[in-house]
Amino acid sequence: MLGRTLRWGGAWAVLGLVVGVALMFGKAEVIAESGRKPTELGFYAFWIPLSLSVASVFGLLLGLVFACLMEATNLLLKAIEAKSGVLTTYGQRLLCGTAAGGLIGWPVTRDRNALIAAGLGLGSAVVSIVINAVQAKRRKSELGRATQQS
């Protein structure tokens, strides 16, 4: 669980860094700006630590809730002796990712804007599925090469 939480937090931190740099170079308007339009790029550099910290915290929370939900659903699936298949493999991740985002977004917004956080959780789950599929394919090809060499 800890590894999954840290991976999600790290991925979101990288995304936050990229967004912060993009906002800085795009000279995005400052929150509650006084009306003055600064020309130096350094003025907008505050977007980098702000985006990095917000995305990191969100990613860590999302990863922790996702990992807990995955473990809970794994126990539930074992208890009901569910067959592993496409729906179990992908549906579980998609459901847990969406629920994790919603569980984080609802206490913060307490309105329909929690659907944005749920969508971010769903997107994170899709990325997780793609990464796991690539890793599984790589492990399978390495196993095939090791078997051929034997």
Rounded-to-5 percentages of helix, strand, coil across the chain: 80, 0, 20
- Does residue 1 have a pLDDT over 90? no
Instruction: Provide the whole-model pTM.
Output: 0.78
**Tally of CA atoms within 13 A in the half-sphere of 5 that contains its CB:** 11
- Which pLDDT belongs to residue 56? 94
CB-based contacts of 109-117 (< 8 A; 24+ apart in sequence): 117/58
Encode pLDDT of 86-126 as tens digits. Answer: 777 788 889 999 999 999 999 988 899 899 999 999 999 99
Encode pLDDT of 4-47 as tens digits. Answer: 888 888 999 999 999 999 988 888 776 666 666 767 777 788 88
- Which pLDDT belongs to residue 36? 66
- Does residue 55 have a pLDDT over 90? yes
- Does residue 52 have a pLDDT over 90? yes
- Which pLDDT belongs to residue 74? 85
- Which pLDDT belongs to residue 86? 73
